[in-house]
Chains A and B, each alone.
Chain A
Amino acid sequence: MREEISTREAFGEALAELGEINKDVVVIDADISKSTYTTTFHKKFPDRAFNVGVAEQDLMLVAAGLATTGKIVFTSTYAVFASMRACEQVRTFICYPNVNVKIHASHGGIQVGADGPTHQGTEDIAIMRALPNMKVIHPADAIATKKAVFEIAKDYGPTYLRTMRNPTPIIYDDSYKFEIGKGNIVLDEGNDVAIIATGIMVLMALEAAKILKERGIRVKVVDISTIKPIDSELIINLAKNTGGIVTCEDHNIIGGLGSAVAEVLVENYPVPMKRIGLKDTFGESGNWKELFDIYGLSPKHIAEACIDIVKNKIPPLK
């Protein structure tokens, strides 16, 4: 495998492989199939691949109708369009009747970079998480994405699979086992803080862990690839073991991973917590790594949040 690969590309590779082993898999695009990497599937299985053109609402409806004929339908478009342009179709005609449609949403977060805010899906997790019956999955790298594609095809029901535009390094090796609803401890250096991240932010968190280690702060880095249903058991255990949590997401801090983790903690085991994410703002065009620096998503920002948590854990002098 190449050193860096985008998760959208990994999705496309996995989908073409899935098509070989499962003849019920059907793929529908709303143009941009080249960009969401479903073209390989289209070439291999032309009789099971459709393109409705630039029409995302129709995309979701056609998927819903196809699902009633026994198909496992994958729709593929960008996060902004899947979650907002076609939001009501996803809610009322996919989630409400609970049909077997898998929504691939590429271009999650400001990691999109140069295309700017119109194409950066930064509220999609919040929106999709609020829909009953919907599962929300955001893998951290290409390997996790590939494994997720096969797992969600085995599972019944509506699923939102968020991928990223730009190539990112590989975190996992082939031994990684993706399980819907299960988080994964990627790094376990100690119990000073638990950094809970999703998508590209798992990588940022691993970088932050290096910075923190130099300062003598030992953290756990946890990949929450399924944001819904969230791994409550793991999150509660992390809170019990570390007493401090930092969440990281390339998404608005309202309604996404940070909110989901806070919901679990506040009802079960409240501990000090900080949320890394877009601070209720839109992104802008630019190199994504520069954008991460500007919008507070860099390893440095995560490390600072962890240091704050650790400082607050020191008991006051008597």
Chain B
Amino acid sequence: METWEEKVKRLKKISWELRKDVVEMIYKAKAGHPGGSLSAADIIAVLYFEILNIDPTNPQWEDRDRFILSKGHACPIHYAALARRGFFDREHLWTLRRTHSILQGHPDMKKTPGVDYTSGSLGNGLGIGVGMALGLKMNKKNSRVFVLLGDGECQEGVIWEAAMCASHYKLDNLYAIVDYNGLEVDGWLREVMNIEPIVDKWKSFGWKVKEINGHDIEEILNAFQWCFKVGGPAVIIAHTVKGKGVSFMENEVEWHGLAPTEEEYKKAMEELEKEVSSL
């Protein structure tokens, strides 16, 4: 039986391994979105290696939990997790964004095993999650629906249409996580378009809200346990750092959608490897 400390250490290690895959994928693809992938790494690690009830041998299993990456541009981190869970061969990771690849520039449910819904155009994942949650309840399934939102996409009006809908229909099987790294393409959210007070916004839309450090594995684990205790719709506001784990990418808006050069790639891998081997 795994102890709590062992679990936290295992998940922490996975999060760093996933980050390495992200950097390598984007380096080899010569394009992609490292910043928002790295900020979501710890959340994705906990979801895919502890929380989600899924079966890599049967990606369409009816009783599975659903996960929607609403901030679809962060798909490298999602693909890395799916490969590591065995949904497809790791070799596919190095075909990211290429012709005939099963790994599109943004998630495609028809091409990638384990992707529960197509995404990439921001703001749309929550409404789809609402529909899934409604359908699963109608089908008397115990499956849960998780939606990972970007902070920037909370500027989209349709997020709030869906948030209103989720609480109206008392969707106790729907959970959202906001990857609050504070940066969007044009700069800091607080300067481009402030989403604060974000906790009050969600609360006023009828959601239960918990704020955490999105890089603290223990806090993430506890937040999901809190979710299941209070029931949905519940949202975790996860404070994160864009580009987390690669010193020169952290909090730098340029790394929203930029591939590293060979030199940058080597430096990034060195830093990430140091984190892995420290555990």
Contacts and interface: CB of A to CB of B under 8 A. Distances in A.
Contact of B134 (A50, A53, A96, A98): A50
A67 B127 CA distance: 13
A58 B165 contact: yes
A45 B35 CA distance: 47
Contact of A57 (B108, B134, B139, B158): B158
A89 B158 CA distance: 10
Chain A facing B: main interface SS: helix
B134 A52 contact: no
A61 B132 CA distance: 10
B161 A65 contact: no
A290 interface: no
B162 interface: yes
B121 interface: yes
Interface stretch (B95-103, B110-118, B210-218, B247-255): B110-118
B127 A65 contact: yes
Contacts of B131: 61-69
A55 interface: yes
Interface of B: 108-110, 116-118, 120-121, 124, 126-136, 138-139, 157-158, 161-162, 164-165, 168-169
Given A52-B161, A63-B131, A97-B109, A69 B139 contact: yes
Interface residues of A, number: 28
Contacts of B130: 58, 61-62, 65
A48 interface: yes
Contacts of B164: 53, 55
Contact of B128 (A65, A71, A88, A96): A65
Interface in A49-93: 50, 52-53, 55, 57-58, 60-71, 88-89, 92-93
Nearest to A101: B131
A66 B136 CA distance: 8
A52 B138 contact: no
Contacts of A214: none
Contact of B162 (A61, A71, A88): A61
B109 to A, nearest CB: 5
A66 B129 CA distance: 9
Nearest to A63: B131
Contacts of A55: 158, 161, 164-165
B220 to A, nearest CB: 25
A69 B139 CA distance: 8
